[in-house]
Amino acid sequence: ILMEHERYLATRNSYGWIQKYIFPGGLIPSLDALSSIAQQHTTLTVTAVRPFGLHYAETLRRWRHEFDRQWPSVKTLGFDETFRRMWEFYLAYSEAGFRGAYLDVGQLTLERHSCPTMPSAESSSLGRRATSVRDWCPNFSSAVSWSGF
Protein backbone atom coordinates (compact mmCIF):
# COMPACT_ATOMS: atom_id res chain seq x y z
CA ILE A 1 0.00 0.00 0.00
CA LEU A 2 1.33 3.41 -0.98
CA MET A 3 0.42 7.08 -0.75
CA GLU A 4 1.77 10.22 -2.41
CA HIS A 5 5.05 11.41 -0.90
CA GLU A 6 3.63 14.72 0.36
CA ARG A 7 0.86 12.83 2.21
CA TYR A 8 3.40 10.39 3.60
CA LEU A 9 5.48 13.28 4.96
CA ALA A 10 2.39 14.93 6.45
CA THR A 11 1.03 11.77 8.11
CA ARG A 12 4.07 9.68 9.05
CA ASN A 13 4.10 10.99 12.62
CA SER A 14 0.34 10.98 13.11
CA TYR A 15 -1.69 8.53 15.13
CA GLY A 16 -5.14 8.06 13.63
CA TRP A 17 -8.01 5.65 13.91
CA ILE A 18 -6.40 3.09 11.58
CA GLN A 19 -3.15 3.08 13.61
CA LYS A 20 -5.07 2.80 16.86
CA TYR A 21 -7.57 0.06 16.00
CA ILE A 22 -6.54 -1.76 12.83
CA PHE A 23 -2.77 -1.59 12.28
CA PRO A 24 -1.04 -0.52 15.52
CA GLY A 25 2.38 0.83 14.63
CA GLY A 26 1.52 0.79 10.94
CA LEU A 27 2.86 3.28 8.43
CA ILE A 28 1.88 3.69 4.79
CA PRO A 29 4.98 4.67 2.82
CA SER A 30 5.35 6.52 -0.45
CA LEU A 31 7.10 5.09 -3.47
CA ASP A 32 9.73 7.84 -3.07
CA ALA A 33 10.38 6.77 0.53
CA LEU A 34 10.70 3.09 -0.39
CA SER A 35 12.97 3.88 -3.33
CA SER A 36 15.16 6.15 -1.23
CA ILE A 37 15.58 3.61 1.59
CA ALA A 38 16.35 0.83 -0.89
CA GLN A 39 18.94 2.96 -2.65
CA GLN A 40 20.58 4.19 0.57
CA HIS A 41 20.78 0.87 2.38
CA THR A 42 20.85 -1.87 -0.26
CA THR A 43 21.94 -2.57 -3.81
CA LEU A 44 18.27 -2.76 -4.83
CA THR A 45 16.61 -0.26 -7.12
CA VAL A 46 12.89 0.06 -7.87
CA THR A 47 12.71 -0.45 -11.61
CA ALA A 48 8.98 -0.91 -12.20
CA VAL A 49 5.67 -0.32 -10.47
CA ARG A 50 2.38 -1.94 -11.44
CA PRO A 51 -0.37 -0.06 -9.57
CA PHE A 52 -3.82 -1.56 -9.07
CA GLY A 53 -5.54 0.64 -6.48
CA LEU A 54 -8.88 0.74 -8.27
CA HIS A 55 -8.95 -3.05 -8.41
CA TYR A 56 -8.25 -3.16 -4.68
CA ALA A 57 -11.10 -0.71 -4.07
CA GLU A 58 -13.41 -3.21 -5.74
CA THR A 59 -11.96 -6.03 -3.62
CA LEU A 60 -12.68 -4.02 -0.46
CA ARG A 61 -16.26 -3.33 -1.64
CA ARG A 62 -16.80 -7.05 -2.17
CA TRP A 63 -15.29 -7.91 1.22
CA ARG A 64 -17.61 -5.38 2.90
CA HIS A 65 -20.63 -6.79 1.08
CA GLU A 66 -19.68 -10.35 2.04
CA PHE A 67 -18.99 -9.33 5.65
CA ASP A 68 -22.49 -7.82 5.85
CA ARG A 69 -24.02 -10.91 4.28
CA GLN A 70 -22.16 -13.22 6.68
CA TRP A 71 -22.71 -11.08 9.80
CA PRO A 72 -25.23 -13.48 11.40
CA SER A 73 -22.60 -16.25 11.31
CA VAL A 74 -19.81 -13.92 12.46
CA LYS A 75 -21.93 -12.74 15.39
CA THR A 76 -22.25 -16.32 16.67
CA LEU A 77 -18.45 -16.34 17.08
CA GLY A 78 -18.81 -13.75 19.85
CA PHE A 79 -18.28 -10.51 17.93
CA ASP A 80 -20.48 -7.57 18.96
CA GLU A 81 -22.04 -4.59 17.17
CA THR A 82 -19.06 -2.40 18.02
CA PHE A 83 -16.81 -4.81 16.14
CA ARG A 84 -19.25 -4.88 13.23
CA ARG A 85 -19.37 -1.09 12.93
CA MET A 86 -15.60 -0.82 13.25
CA TRP A 87 -14.98 -3.44 10.55
CA GLU A 88 -17.58 -1.95 8.19
CA PHE A 89 -16.08 1.50 8.72
CA TYR A 90 -12.56 0.21 8.04
CA LEU A 91 -13.59 -1.54 4.81
CA ALA A 92 -15.65 1.44 3.55
CA TYR A 93 -12.98 3.98 4.58
CA SER A 94 -10.26 1.98 2.86
CA GLU A 95 -12.36 1.48 -0.27
CA ALA A 96 -12.90 5.23 -0.49
CA GLY A 97 -9.18 5.84 -0.05
CA PHE A 98 -8.31 3.58 -2.97
CA ARG A 99 -11.23 4.65 -5.16
CA GLY A 100 -10.36 8.32 -4.62
CA ALA A 101 -6.63 7.66 -5.30
CA TYR A 102 -5.61 8.86 -1.83
CA LEU A 103 -4.09 5.39 -1.46
CA ASP A 104 -2.71 2.99 -4.01
CA VAL A 105 -1.38 -0.53 -3.98
CA GLY A 106 1.02 -2.02 -6.42
CA GLN A 107 3.55 -4.62 -7.32
CA LEU A 108 7.08 -3.26 -7.16
CA THR A 109 9.98 -4.74 -9.05
CA LEU A 110 13.32 -4.23 -7.37
CA GLU A 111 16.52 -5.24 -9.10
CA ARG A 112 19.77 -6.11 -7.40
CA HIS A 113 22.74 -4.85 -9.29
CA SER A 114 25.95 -6.79 -9.32
CA CYS A 115 29.38 -6.82 -10.88
CA PRO A 116 32.39 -9.12 -10.65
CA THR A 117 34.58 -8.94 -7.57
CA MET A 118 36.08 -5.50 -7.03
CA PRO A 119 39.47 -5.37 -8.80
CA SER A 120 42.75 -4.65 -7.03
CA ALA A 121 44.58 -1.39 -7.74
CA GLU A 122 47.09 -3.26 -9.94
CA SER A 123 44.45 -4.80 -12.21
CA SER A 124 42.15 -1.81 -12.22
CA SER A 125 41.91 0.30 -15.35
CA LEU A 126 41.62 3.21 -12.95
CA GLY A 127 45.19 2.74 -11.74
CA ARG A 128 43.97 3.12 -8.15
CA ARG A 129 41.81 1.21 -5.70
CA ALA A 130 38.12 1.66 -6.47
CA THR A 131 36.19 3.39 -3.68
CA SER A 132 32.70 2.94 -5.09
CA VAL A 133 31.06 0.17 -7.06
CA ARG A 134 30.43 2.73 -9.80
CA ASP A 135 34.22 3.27 -10.09
CA TRP A 136 34.78 -0.28 -11.33
CA CYS A 137 31.30 -1.25 -12.48
CA PRO A 138 30.10 1.64 -14.63
CA ASN A 139 27.15 -0.28 -16.06
CA PHE A 140 25.92 -1.37 -12.60
CA SER A 141 23.21 -3.35 -14.40
CA SER A 142 20.59 -5.74 -13.15
CA ALA A 143 21.39 -9.32 -12.41
CA VAL A 144 18.60 -10.44 -10.08
CA SER A 145 15.01 -9.33 -9.99
CA TRP A 146 12.45 -9.58 -7.16
CA SER A 147 8.83 -8.55 -7.16
CA GLY A 148 6.55 -8.09 -4.18
CA PHE A 149 3.76 -6.00 -2.75
Q: What is the DSSP string of 43-111?
A: SEEEEEEEE-HHHHHHHHHHHHHHHHHHHHHHHTTT--HHHHHHHHHHHHHHHHHHHTTSEE-EEEEEE
* Mean pLDDT score, 41-58: 94
pTM, full prediction: 0.72
Say how far apart CA 81 and CA 87 lie, in whole Å.
10
Note the pLDDT tens digit of each residue in 67-103: 999 999 999 999 999 999 999 999 999 999 999 999 9
